[in-house]
Amino acid sequence: METTDDKMERRLYSHDLAPLPKEMDLIFKTMPDQVVRPAYTEDVVQIVRKAIATNKPIVPRGAGSWGLGGSVPVKGGITIDMTGMSKIISIDETNLVVTVQPGITWNALSEALDAKGLFLPCYPSSAPSATLGGWIATGGTGIGAFKYGSAGDLIRDMEIVLPTGIVVHTGDKLVPQNGGGPNLNWLFVGSEGTMGIVTEVTFSVLPKPEELRPVSYSLDALTTFQPALKKLVRSGVAPMHIMLGDRLHFDYLRAIGKHVPEVGCLITMALTGTKAYVDMEEKVIDDIMASVGAKKESKETAQHEWSERSYEFRVRELGVGAIPGEILVPIDRMNVVLEGTAKLIKQLKMNAPIIGTVADNNTIMLMPYYLADEHKLVASTAAMGFAKRLGDLAFENGGRPVGLGIFFAGNLAKYRGKEGAHLIRNLKDMLDPYGIMNPGKMVETGTRYGISMPAFLMNFGMHMMGSVKRILPRDKIGQKELAKLKK
Ligand SMILES: Cc1cc2nc3c(=O)[nH]c(=O)nc-3n(C[C@H](O)[C@H](O)[C@H](O)COP(=O)(O)OP(=O)(O)OC[C@H]3O[C@@H](n4cnc5c(N)ncnc54)[C@H](O)[C@@H]3O)c2cc1C
């Protein structure tokens, strides 16, 4: 097991995808005191025991590709970098399950499966860097979820080191967990690294489909897609993945010189199965998309978009960070939410492209993103008010924002109600009696002083950040490049 106290190295662990302005250090101690890289479960057990003995917080971390501060300490302590635990323990071709350490990236696992004629049914689009453990802890949706289910649906079993140092298994390696008590897999899915550390995962896989065929359709506006999507989810066809991007997203990509067709808004789907089955699905989808006036794009465009599926945030080249606001909303409310989002973007004087995926047969995930400069304290923190208001828009429409992390713990009661949030806090206290496991997240917004910010204050503060954003000058990042493009 490697350990480092080196300041430069520790600094690298003081942020995730969304960089925080350095002034935030007044509230949070984001730099860990120590970073450890375990190789085995026993190493993790030792770290937990040491944390209990010295009363130090521990923060599990994968690739740091989440944007809500889940893997960033709020009061220092020990960051456990899980990326060293990246071994494939077994690939069981007979039973179609794979057992791995949690620090493996989705791409590394996918390549190993591919070599054996197997296929990962679902993975996040951050697959080149994101780890299995990180995705499980965030309870993500992703590529393949529409047809095959999300992260949690595909887990057979996990080994977890609890905050007391006890090691438990949550399921059965070869069969799903039906009955026989509550499903423990789901207790840890989405628990954001606050209830236990995933040290081993057994995941369901599939034989590689005979054909994986991307198809793309362009539209004038994302709202035009809603009636088609409603038909599609009732048609009996099931694309593996459905992803969308609006005109501004593709304009930004062109502005940074990427090869992008001039398409307006684009919907790309990936179809899997035998060749005959995929031919049939393509025909049904062509008809549905034609019924809303969508134009079918070339095979090359579809293939290009599919190969770019993991690189949605390439426009980060234009600004310091692309901070996404991610919401899940019922497909029936998609257009109301898209219109509300456009209004919000205008009010807050932002430039925010919208990308998204279809999560399941009644849910769409929308992810507007914007470029923020973390060196400008007011502008960058004020822009977080957008994520808060976007979340509220989702709640108003029967959906919800995705993830709590440091800043949105105040939403827990909105998700689950007062009593439900109380139950989750009690579970956390029971599993983590010493309060060492990633404290100050999910169930509370902790600070470096050990005092939590009251949820109402945090919610009010986030809302007010939106009001500040309204009176600031319009965002400028990327505008020069866009103007050049239009000349
Ligand atoms: C380009 C891009 C595309 C993305 N696409 C998707 C997508 O399609 N779907 C999606 O859901 N998200 C997506 N994300 C968000 C992010 O990549 C995912 O949430 C990812 O799964 C996080 O994995 P990670 O290894 O980076 O975890 P980290 O960011 O390091 O950690 C995330 C959380 O997991 C906890 N954690 C990490 N490892 C463990 C462990 N072993 N045990 C317990 N807790 C742990 C951390 O404490 C933290 O709370 C995307 C991000 C980017 C940049």
pLDDT digits (tens, 9 = 90+) for 454-480: 888 888 887 888 788 778 777 777 777
Helices (H) then strands (E): counts for the chain: 17, 20
pLDDT of residue 433: 97
Per-residue pLDDT tens digits for 392-434: 999 999 999 999 998 888 899 999 999 999 999 999 999 999 9
Atom in ligand 1 nearest the alpha carbon of residue 143: 8
Atom in ligand 1 nearest the alpha carbon of residue 188: 43
323 pLDDT above the threshold of 70? no
Residue 479 Cα to ligand 1 middle (Å) = 30
How far apart are the two ends of the chain, measured CA to CA in Å? 56
321 pLDDT above the threshold of 70? no
Residue 54 Cα to ligand 1 middle (Å) = 28
pLDDT of residue 15: 86
At 236, is the secondary structure helix, strand, or coil?
coil
50 pLDDT above the threshold of 70? yes
383 pLDDT above the threshold of 80? no
Span of 95-109, 334-348, 370-384 with lowest mean pLDDT:
370-384
Q: Does ligand 1 come within 6 angstroms of the Cβ of 439? A: no
* CA 257 vs CA 261, 353, 485: distances in Å: 11, 17, 9
| 316 contacts 371 by C-beta, under 8 angstroms | yes
pLDDT of residue 472: 78
Average pLDDT in the 82-99 region? Answer: 97
Q: Does ligand 1 come within 6 angstroms of the Cβ of 152? A: no
Task: List all residues 6 or more positions away from 463 whose beta carbon is below 8 Å from its beta carbon.
Answer: 385, 388, 389
309 pLDDT above the threshold of 70? yes
Beta-sheet strand order (sheet of 155-161):
88-92, 97-100, 197-204, 155-161, 167-169
Average pLDDT in the 296-305 region? Answer: 94
Share of the chain above pLDDT 90, in %: 70
Q: What share of the chain is helix, strand, coil (3-state, %, to 5)?
A: 40, 20, 40
Q: Does ligand 1 come within 6 angstroms of the Cβ of 193? A: yes
Query: Which amino acid appears at position 416 of this protein?
Result: R
Give the separation between CA 155 and CA 185, rounded to whole angstroms.
Answer: 7
Helix 455-471 vs helix 384-396: crossing angle, to nearest 10: 110
pLDDT of residue 341: 96
Residue to mutate (ligand 1; options 45, 66, 187; most atoms within 8 A of CB): 66
Residue nearest to atom 36 of ligand 1 (CA): 134
Average pLDDT in the 316-326 region? Answer: 71
Residue 471 Cα to ligand 1 middle (Å) = 33
Q: Does ligand 1 come within 6 angstroms of the Cβ of 119? A: no
Atom in ligand 1 nearest the alpha carbon of residue 85: 41
Atom in ligand 1 nearest the alpha carbon of residue 131: 25
pLDDT of residue 372: 72
- pLDDT-derived band at 311 (thresholds 50, 70, 90) equals confident
pLDDT of residue 456: 81
Q: Does ligand 1 come within 6 angstroms of the Cβ of 243? A: no
Q: Are strands 34-37 and 78-81 parallel, antiparallel or unpaired?
A: parallel
Across all residues in the chain, what is the average pLDDT?
91
| 190 contacts 138 by C-beta, under 8 angstroms | yes
Per-residue pLDDT tens digits for 262-286: 778 999 999 999 999 999 999 999 9
Residue 198 Cα to ligand 1 middle (Å) = 13
Q: Is 472 exposed, middle or buried (0-12, 13-18, 19+ CB in 10 A)?
A: middle
114 pLDDT above the threshold of 80? yes
At 439, is the secondary structure helix, strand, or coil?
coil
Residue nearest to atom 52 of ligand 1 (CA): 126
| 280 contacts 238 by C-beta, under 8 angstroms | no
Per-residue pLDDT tens digits for 116-165: 999 999 999 999 999 999 999 999 889 999 999 998 899 999 999 999 99
Q: Does ligand 1 come within 6 angstroms of the Cβ of 363? A: no
Residue to mutate (ligand 1; options 16, 36, 58, 61; most atoms within 8 A of CB): 61
- pLDDT-derived band at 108 (thresholds 50, 70, 90) equals very high
Question: Which range, 168-177, 374-383, 432-441, is most confident?
Answer: 432-441
Atom in ligand 1 nearest the alpha carbon of residue 199: 41
pLDDT of residue 35: 97
pLDDT of residue 151: 82
Comparing CA positions, the residue from 187, 180, 184, 189 lying closest to residue 171 is 184
Within a 13 Å sphere around the CA of 360, how many CA atoms are in the beta-carbon half? 9
Could you tell me how far CA 200 lies from the centroid of its own chain? Answer: 20
Residue nearest to atom 32 of ligand 1 (CA): 134
Residue 130 Cα to ligand 1 middle (Å) = 6
Question: Which token pair is 359?
Answer: 């999560």
User: Which residue is it, tokens 């010493």?
Assistant: 434
Give the separation between CA 52 and CA 50, rounded to whole angstroms.
Answer: 5
Q: Does ligand 1 come within 6 angstroms of the Cβ of 82? A: yes
| 224 contacts 293 by C-beta, under 8 angstroms | yes
pLDDT of residue 273: 97
pLDDT of residue 320: 58
Residue 102 Cα to ligand 1 middle (Å) = 12
Residue nearest to atom 2 of ligand 1 (CA): 126
Q: Does ligand 1 come within 6 angstroms of the Cβ of 61? A: yes
Task: List all residues 6 or more positions away from 414 whose beta carbon is below 8 Å from its beta carbon.
Answer: 395, 400
95 pLDDT above the threshold of 90? yes
Comparing CA positions, the residue from 348, 364, 346 lying closest to residue 228 is 364
Give the separation between CA 342 and CA 449, rounded to whole angstroms.
Answer: 39
Q: Does ligand 1 come within 6 angstroms of the Cβ of 192? A: yes
290 pLDDT above the threshold of 80? yes
Give the separation between CA 76 and CA 393, rounded to whole angstroms.
Answer: 34
Residue 296 Cα to ligand 1 middle (Å) = 33
- 350-380 burial, b at 16+ Cβ within 10 Å, e below that, comes to bbbbbbbbbbbeebbbbbbbbbbbbeeeebb
Average pLDDT in the 218-241 region? Answer: 96
